[in-house]
Structure formats: C-alpha cells, structure tokens
Amino acid sequence: MAQGTGTLFNDYVLKSRKQTYAIGDSYALAFFSNAISTVDFDSVDPILADLTVVSGGNVAASYALSSPTFTRAVNVIKFDVTDIAKILKDAGNPADIRGVAVYNITSVNNDLVQAHDLTADGTTAIDIVTQDFTFAFGAAGVNVATA
C-alpha cells in the first residue's frame, strides 16, 4: 500500500449497511505498530484489540475524533471528522508506529472502521521521535461511499 492509503474493514461496510451503527456514534483514532500487510481487512468482527496499539511521550493511546458528520452530495456520501492536532517530536514517542486506525468507540468492542498505512514501504516505522507529525484525513474526509 502507498503511504497514507486508507482501507475500510469489510465488516464495517457490512454492518453499516445493516444499520448496526448509528449516525450519532462516536469514533476515535489510535496508532499501531503492525505492518499493514498483516492487518486482515476481511476478518469478521475486527476490533481495536486485534492491533498492537502504541503510545507514549506525546502520543496518546487514543484520540477522540470530534465533530463527526455524514453528508451527501448527489451520489457521494462523505464521513468526516475534525483532524487531530500535530504530534510534537519527543524522545518518549513510540519508535514503531506503522499505521493508524479509526474505530467506533460507541460499539462494545471498539469495532475497527479503517486503517491507514503510514510507512513509505509497508514496514519501516515513521519517525516521530526526531520529527513532528501531522495526520489529516484530507478533502475526502475519513471515507466516502458512492451510490
């Protein structure tokens, strides 16, 4: 996967269509150390505990995502949130961050929504020990669906 590529968990798509999740659900973001190639996007009931979440220094174990919105423009449905603040470099920051996951914190088991590869090559961790880090979802938001 290319750096920054986000992939939806298939079970999230299925549960969304079955209306398992509500518009008012809350979401969070967590950084993990798993190589993206080891993340099973087709697993049944994927949860945050399936990933190795990393934290320390200026990196929190979880970041609540504020202002979740769902909008529709013609045949495109967009899910968006406010991006998290810049994470400042620190010697205590984890040295093994390879990805970031969005998960539903309203669900009992913290159901996974999607994961993003943060590496340049699929395996090499990003450096936030010596460099500040900003993660933003971009103009497309967290994800989009087309009808």
pLDDT tens-digit readout, 44-68? 999 999 999 999 999 999 999 999 8
pLDDT exceeds 80 at position 72: yes
91 and 63 Cβ atoms separated by less than 8 Å: no
Task: Determine the pLDDT at residue 143.
Answer: 84
pTM of the entire structure?
0.91
Task: Determine the pLDDT at residue 137.
Answer: 87
Task: Determine the pLDDT at residue 4.
Answer: 65
122 and 58 Cβ atoms separated by less than 8 Å: no
What digits encode the pLDDT tens for the residues 123-140?
999 999 999 999 998 888
Task: Determine the pLDDT at residue 96.
Answer: 97
pLDDT exceeds 70 at position 114: yes
Q: Give me the mean pLDDT over the 34-44 stretch.
A: 95
**Which residues have a Cβ under 8 Å from the Cβ of 114 and sit 6 or more positions away?**
6, 7, 8, 9, 12, 101, 102, 142, 143
99 pLDDT band (50/70/90 cuts)? very high
pLDDT exceeds 90 at position 1: no
Task: Determine the pLDDT at residue 2.
Answer: 54
91 and 131 Cβ atoms separated by less than 8 Å: no
Q: Give me the mean pLDDT over the 14-43 stretch.
A: 92
Tell which residue, 59, 42, 32, 49, has the closest CA to residue 7.
42
